[in-house]
Amino acid sequence: MIASVTKKTAPALQALYQQLLTRGIQYFLSPSRLEIVGPAPQHTLDIVFQPAPPGGLLFDWLKDRYALTNHRELTEHEKKMVRTIGRFLGVRHEMLFESEPDSRNLPSFGGVIEDRYVSAFLEGRVYRDAHSAAELPDRVSEAIEVLRISALSSYEDKRISTGALLFGSMPDSCHSLPPWPAEALPYSSELTSIRSFHRICDGLRTLALVDGNGYMVELVDVQEWARPYADMELPVPTARRYRTHSQATLCGGHICLVLTPNGEIKIFGDGVQLFSFFDGRWHLTDAVEKYRAWQEAIGRPELAERLFIAALNLAEHRRGGMFVVLENHADTGLLVNDSDLLETDRRARTGAKNQLHYLLRGAQATALSTAVLESIAQIDGSVVLNRDSNLLAFGAILRHNPAVDDDEEIGEGGRTAAAIGASQFGEVLMISEGGQLSFYRKGHAVWTL
């Protein structure tokens, strides 16, 4: 039972909550900087934004006013993440300071706190106030725990994949919940002790359908579930393997969680991937804004989409590669050796890769399938194009290698250095073998997905 908070302990708990807020925001919005700039005019459990200069936020929370600074303007999803962290911590603050202790509240103080932030972002109604936190099941946190435990297991020396579809609370004319099974089990960590659990819902083709109370009530074929939405346009292009998972969440407010064969947790909602968990931490994907920035930079919607999808497919299969779209065709010779250009017509030495150039000479990326783009991107070197979608080179070893900005981190060795150098001449989409996708422009990383 949580003890009552006295006036003597209140300042210490207040300082603790300030630290929790700072750590939570810096976790999801690195490298943002958060500091207290003065007292708030009134006590508030919700974050209240105030007018602020570009590149930062000014907001009130509890008794203090905070300034959040960043090197760029924050997106709507990032602002929502800030509000979500404040809302969740505000509810816990309310439980301690302003409401009677209730044993039903205790789960909100357990588990991995970042998982709770993700849950509150996706299902805000659960942490609307202390009462809702006590009464409503935290389905997202429970599902994440199932996937976390499953990630530690294997079957016949292969990693397990699995997933769940949390039925939404919004109208969906295409789907309804089945009759409640008399022996329905909660979708919780206890399921992972059942040996056949992972085999009946593999996350790629089949998902566990979870009702509003957190019970597993049916198994669904994700492709069949998504079929009514097949003709609807997704907010953002997605990897081939998870297109139906995105489509499955286009209507009804459904949430899809998948543990992938790579050991990554992906969460889909509103037709787009919203979060991913890999390398030991959560990432707010903010895919809509990132794709918009890429599309605007390329200026050719079809080309931008084709390269983006190919890059996502490569990242999903942990295949490294790089696409370079030149701003000025005249700069081609500054970046690519003459022997690597497809237009170079000369007899190549036996075994040289440019013996195969004739296969793609004169090709346009928008006329090639994404499978072909993925294949040539996996050849050591880079795929180079111009803004008219003309394929100029593949497997090209880029020769421009300018000095790297002191503020730019080199995390992928030669490929990252090449991406930074090539981005002086155009837009670069780099895929790491660790599964990350990065957009470089003018010598800097614009975003990482």
Contacts of 212 (CB under 8 A, 6+ apart): 139, 167, 169
Written as six digits, the tokens of 83 are: 């509000």
Distance CA 121, CA 123 (A): 6
Distance CA 420, CA 407 (A): 12
Average pLDDT, the chain: 86
Higher confidence at residue 122 or residue 159?
A: 122
Written as six digits, the tokens of 277 are: 């968990």
pLDDT at residue number 2: 44
Q: Which long-range contacts (CB under 8 A, 24 or more apart) does 368-374 make?
A: 368/306, 370/240, 370/306, 370/309, 370/310, 370/313, 373/306, 373/307, 373/310, 374/310, 374/313, 374/314, 374/319, 374/321
Judged by average pLDDT, the poorest of 148-152, 198-202, 357-361, 363-367 is 357-361
Highest mean pLDDT among 27-31, 285-289, 353-357: 285-289
Element (H, E) at 293: helix 287-298
Cis omega (within 30 of 0) on the bond before 31? yes
pLDDT at residue number 30: 83
pTM for the full model? 0.88
The answer on pLDDT for 152 being more than 90 is: no
The answer on pLDDT for 350 being more than 80 is: no
The answer on pLDDT for 11 being more than 80 is: no
Contacts of 427 (CB under 8 A, 6+ apart): 294, 297, 298, 324, 325, 327, 439, 440, 441
The answer on pLDDT for 164 being more than 70 is: yes
Written as six digits, the tokens of 86 are: 């404040």
Neighbours of 89 (CB within 10 A): 25
pLDDT above 70 covers a percentage of the chain that reads: 89
Beta strand pairing call for 444-448 and 437-441:
antiparallel
pLDDT at residue number 3: 46
pLDDT at residue number 43: 85
The answer on pLDDT for 104 being more than 70 is: no
Contacts of 188 (CB under 8 A, 6+ apart): 142, 145, 146, 214
Q: Which long-range contacts (CB under 8 A, 24 or more apart) does 179-187 make?
A: 180/211, 180/215, 180/217, 181/217, 184/211, 184/215, 184/216, 184/217, 185/215, 185/216, 186/142, 186/214, 186/215, 186/216, 187/139, 187/142, 187/143, 187/146, 187/214, 187/215, 187/216
pLDDT at residue number 72: 78
Domains of the chain (ranges; CATH) run: 10-135 (no CATH), 139-285 (3.40.1700.10), 288-448 (3.40.1700.10)
pLDDT digits (tens, 9 = 90+) for 290-344: 999 999 999 999 999 999 999 999 999 989 899 999 988 888 888 888 888 888 7
pLDDT digits (tens, 9 = 90+) for 55-80: 778 889 888 899 988 877 888 999 99
pLDDT at residue number 347: 58
8 pLDDT band, cuts 50/70/90, is: low
pLDDT digits (tens, 9 = 90+) for 115-144: 999 999 999 999 988 888 888 899 999 999
103 pLDDT band, cuts 50/70/90, is: very low
* Contact in structure between 78 and 117 (CB atoms under 8 Å): no
* Contact in structure between 297 and 285 (CB atoms under 8 Å): no
pLDDT at residue number 197: 85
> What average pLDDT score do residues 366-377 get?
89
Neighbours of 27 (CB within 10 A): 17
405 pLDDT band, cuts 50/70/90, is: very low
Distance CA 432, CA 39 (A): 45
Q: In one letter, which amino acid is 402?
A: P
The answer on pLDDT for 16 being more than 70 is: yes
DSSP strand E in 77-198: where? 154-155, 158-159, 162-166, 185-186
- Residues 252-290 as b or e (16 or more Cβ within 10 Å = b): bbbbbbbbbbbbbbbbbbbbbbbbbbbeeebbbbbbbbb
pLDDT at residue number 305: 94
pLDDT at residue number 410: 40
pLDDT digits (tens, 9 = 90+) for 208-242: 999 999 999 999 999 999 999 988 999 999 999 99
